[in-house]
Homo-oligomer: A and B are copies of this chain.
């Protein structure tokens, strides 16, 4: 939309190349799917994806959407997340490690740099850490504004 136009293109290319490198066929739909996630500011449900794809491919079916979401997740291009109202997907961040603030209304995500694991000490040291999760939920500036206005 603004000046990240370039990185969106890059992201699509990266996803497509990942698919191709694993021997998957690059269909129009899969390219569109990659573009959809590259541009999405937040999480998308299978239904969101279906609705969105249907505008361009009226005959698209739910099972194809599910198949590709699943495959893209298994391959690490997308990441799954259970928000309160079900399973959602977003492009996985391949850049440096960071965490997100997630808007409870529009589900847009905003990255921030602080990682609690750096500060963390004296845990029981016999617990073998594999990964972690840290998210802050709330309302983004736009949604917070709306809510304040209508209340």
Contact = CB atoms under 8 A, between A and B. Distances in A.
Interface stretch (A29-37, A44-52, A56-64, A110-118): A110-118
Contact of A131 (B117, B123, B128, B137): B137
Nearest to A116: B116
A122 to B, nearest CB: 8
Contact of A101 (B82, B87, B123, B141): B123
A135 B133 contact: yes
A132 interface: yes
A127 B133 CA distance: 19
Interface of A: 82, 87, 101, 104, 110, 112, 114, 116-117, 119-121, 123-124, 126-141, 144
